[in-house]
C-alpha cells in the first residue's frame, strides 16, 4: 500500500484490513467515510500540510487512472509522477 520510508513504522496488515473492510461499503458510504475523517485530519495538520495531502490524493488518483488506462506498461512509460519521483528516490 505504501513504499515510503516515512510510513515503514505502520502496521500494514491492520491498515490493509481496514481498507478491505471499507471497500465492502457502497461508493456513497466510502465517500461519507472519507468526509468523516477530514475534520480530525485537518485538525492535526497545518494549512500547508493539508494542501499537500490533498495534492497527494489528487496525484494518487491520476496515477491510478493512468496505470489503469495503460495496463502492463509499467511505471517507466507513465507521465504522472509517483511517490518515488516526488520523494527523489
Residue ranges per structural domain of the chain: 10-44, 46-89
pLDDT score for 70: 79
Please give the model's pTM, rounded to 2 decimal places: 0.67
Q: Give me the phi and psi of 18, to 5 degrees please.
A: -60, -45
Distance (Å, whole) CA 45 – CA 41: 6
pLDDT score for 71: 80
pLDDT score for 12: 85
Q: Which three cell numbers stand for residue 39?
A: 475534520
Q: Which three cell numbers stand for residue 70?
A: 495503460
**What is the residue-level pLDDT of the chain in tens, covering all 89 positions?**
555 677 777 778 888 999 999 999 999 999 999 999 999 999 999 999 999 999 989 988 988 888 888 787 776 676 666 665 555 55
Instruction: Match 502496521 to its residue by C-alpha cell.
Output: 11
Pair 33, 25: CB distance under 8 Å: yes
From the CA atom positions of the chain, what is the Rg in Å? Answer: 15
Amino acid at each position: 500500500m505504501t513504499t515510503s520510508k516515512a510510513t515503514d513504522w505502520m502496521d500494514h496488515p491492520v491498515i490493509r484490513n481496514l481498507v478491505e473492510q471499507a471497500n465492502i461499503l457502497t461508493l456513497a458510504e466510502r465517500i461519507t467515510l472519507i468526509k468523516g475523517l477530514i475534520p480530525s485530519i485537518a485538525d492535526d495538520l497545518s494549512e500547508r500540510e493539508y494542501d499537500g495531502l490533498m495534492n497527494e490524493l489528487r496525484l494518487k488518483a491520476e496515477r491510478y487512472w493512468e496505470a489503469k488506462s495503460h495496463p502492463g506498461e509499467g511505471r517507466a512509460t507513465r507521465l504522472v509522477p509517483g511517490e518515488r519521483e516526488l520523494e527523489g528516490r
